[in-house]
Amino acid sequence: MADIVDVAVSNGSFKTLVAAVQAAGLVDTLKGKGPYTVFAPTDEAFAKLPKGTVESLLKDIPTLTSILTYHVVPGKVTAAEVMKLTTAKTVQGQSVSLKMNGGVKVDGANVVKADVMADNGVIHVIDSVILPK
């Protein structure tokens, strides 16, 4: 198996996320011991943002870092464990809301694929970028 970053790179659906993680200097963290749970938006999820948003975020590292760390929960939280929770505190400091409503939703984003395992945690693929309040 591989770490979270290598799993995301090899998947091919997370080019924007990986570029953002690199720009924010979070690669070493997400390659670290962890464990981490990452709610990972796909390239399609980033494409839903208003035109120019990703480009401006790549130039605003503090905001980019805040948004990216809002997608990460400390610890390895599998789908079975997520379904027992209503919130989860993120690395960013705020909590995401978790709802089971015909599937798992994280702050309104749908989990489209759960439990993508990595050596240092787990990835849950989501269909939208979630933003801190």
Element containing residue 30 per DSSP (H, E): helix 27-31
Evaluate whether residue 97 is within a structural domain.
yes
Tokens coding 36: 């981490």
Q: What is the pLDDT of residue 103?
A: 87
Whole-number Å distance between alpha carbons of 122 and 43: 18
Evaluate whether residue 99 is within a structural domain.
yes
Whole-number Å distance between alpha carbons of 117 and 46: 22
Q: What is the pLDDT of residue 1?
A: 77
Q: What is the pLDDT of residue 92?
A: 97
Number of domains comprising the chain: 1
Element containing residue 19 per DSSP (H, E): helix 15-23
Considering the entire predicted model, what is its pTM? 0.95
Evaluate whether residue 133 is within a structural domain.
no
Range of the domain at 65: 4-126
Per-residue pLDDT 10s for the chain (133 aa) are 799 999 999 999 999 999 999 999 999 999 999 999 999 999 999 999 999 999 999 999 999 999 999 999 999 999 999 989 999 999 999 999 999 888 899 999 999 999 999 999 999 999 999 999 8
DSSP 48: T
Distances (CA, A) of 52 to 2, 56, 82, 124: 32, 6, 33, 26
Q: Is 85:98 a contact under the CB 8 Å cutoff?
A: yes
Q: Domain containing 93 — which CATH number?
A: 2.30.180.10
Q: What is the pLDDT of residue 101?
A: 81
Evaluate whether residue 85 is within a structural domain.
yes
Evaluate whether residue 55 is within a structural domain.
yes
Cis before residue 132, ω within 30 degrees of 0?
Answer: no
Evaluate whether residue 131 is within a structural domain.
no
Evaluate whether residue 132 is within a structural domain.
no
Evaluate whether residue 38 is within a structural domain.
yes
Q: What is the pLDDT of residue 132?
A: 95
Q: Residue 27 burial by CB count (10 A; 0-12/13-18/19+): exposed, middle or buried?
A: middle
Tokens coding 21: 């993680």
